Amino acid sequence: MTKPFAGKVALVTGGNSGIGRATAVAFAAAGAAVVIAARRVEEGEATVAEIRAAGGQALFVRTDVAVGAEVEALVARTVAEYGRLDCAFNNAGISGGGLLHEVTEADWDRMIAVNLKGVWLCLKYEIIQMLKQGGGAIVNDSSVAGLIGYGRSTHYAASKHGVIGLTKSAALQYAKRGIRINAVCPGMIKTPMIDRAIANPGVEAWFLTRLPLGRAGQPEEVARAVTWLCSDEASFVSGVAFPVDGATAAGLE
Ligand SMILES: NC(=O)c1ccc[n+]([C@@H]2O[C@H](COP(=O)([O-])OP(=O)(O)OC[C@H]3O[C@@H](n4cnc5c(N)ncnc54)[C@H](OP(=O)(O)O)[C@@H]3O)[C@@H](O)[C@H]2O)c1
């Protein structure tokens, strides 16, 4: 099997679960040394063990992406361990629903701190390192709810629309310095986040009416888009908000 990421180093936030975990495994299978960042240690170490058992290289670094000093330390540890940073998937995120007038200020602040400020902090420290190396490729995890309105959660949609603004603007700022920056916009993907959401009455039925392909996606289907966007195959792709959503954002059926 060819290993397009052999000799490369990839960082995946939220790499201990769901879409991030599948992407960490995919990067490792394609030859990258992978650094996994998240808060839950046991799940992080389990993903590292899975990758090492398959012959890959991986390391878990406990990180809260909403805390700048922790993100700075994460990138420093990555470079200390593997010498460089070539690819990053800024995927860590939280969800939460509710009508706008019922959402608390604390809920709003936490959503923005993790989903938007967290992506900005990751970009900041990743880009500082990539500028020293002369390039890199970054993918941010937005959502269908970053492309169109999301009636179930205004603060989630606001955070994910923000990720696309960050992505496109950063892509412009660093285009001439060898750093490509894109976003993926997943639709409904079978992960623990969705399992938690559909545990609430009526939510699964709501989602099922909004799936043009007639099914939810699998985390590995997003992972393949992310690794492609980070690969040399995507060398002329930057500033894109790439739906991986089975046509959910394409319009009304
Ligand atoms: N599943 C979907 O249908 C869907 C659709 C569109 C977009 N997305 C986006 O995809 C991303 C991954 O979600 P998922 O569906 O794979 O759900 P998930 O399994 O719940 O994964 C979320 C990940 O984010 C990490 N995380 C949360 N807060 C964090 C923080 N403050 N610092 C560091 N890591 C943190 C979690 O690890 P810890 O809890 O251990 O920190 C976990 O690894 C999210 O950004 C989500 O918004 C998902």
The residue written with tokens 């490792």 in the block is 28
Write the residue with the smallest CA distance to atom 44 of ligand 1. 93
Ligand 1, pocket-test mutation among 11, 12, 13, 17, most atoms within 8 A of CB:
17
Q: Specify the pTM.
A: 0.98
Nearest alpha carbon, ligand 1 atom 26: 92
| pLDDT given at position 37 | 99
CA of 110 to the centre of ligand 1 (A): 13
Nearest to 157 by CA among 142, 141, 140, 139: 142
Half-sphere exposure of 173 (CA within 13 A, CB side): 11
3-state secondary structure of 100: helix
Q: What is the residue extent of each domain of the chain?
A: 9-238
CATH topology of domain 9-238: Rossmann fold (3.40.50)
**Distance between CA atoms of 139 and 225, rounded to whole angstroms?**
10
CA 137 → CA 9, 65, 187, 248, 253, distances in Å? 11, 19, 23, 26, 35
Please enumerate in sequence order all residues whose Cβ is within 8 A of that of 63, keeping only pairs 6 or more positions apart, or say none: 13, 37, 38, 39, 70, 71, 73, 74
pLDDT in tens, the chain (253 residues): 689 999 999 999 999 999 999 999 999 999 999 999 999 999 999 999 999 999 999 999 999 999 999 999 999 999 999 999 999 999 999 999 999 999 999 999 999 999 999 999 999 999 999 999 999 999 999 999 999 999 999 999 999 999 999 999 999 999 999 999 999 999 999 999 999 988 888 888 888 888 999 999 999 999 999 999 999 999 999 999 999 999 999 998 8
Encoded tokens for 231: 């690969």
Question: What tokens appear for 55 in the block?
Answer: 């012959």
Two tokens, residue 192:
């623990």
Report the separation in Å between the CA atom of 93 and the middle of ligand 1, taken as the mean of its atom positions.
4
pLDDT for position 51: 98
Please give the order of strands across the beta sheet that includes 9-13.
57-62, 33-38, 9-13, 87-90, 136-141, 179-186, 241-244
Task: Compute the distance from residue 219 Cα to the ligand 1 centre, in Å.
Answer: 11
Q: Which residues have a catalytic role annotated?
A: 156
| Token reading at 33 | 């040394």
User: How far apart are the C-alpha atoms of 103 and 112, rounded to whole Å?
Assistant: 13
Long-range pairs for 206-210: beta carbons < 8 A, 24 or more residues apart: 206/152, 210/248
Distance between CA 118 and CA 11 in Å, rounded? Answer: 14
Helix, strand, coil fractions of the chain, as percent rounded to 5: 50, 15, 30
CB 44 within 8 A of CB 120: no
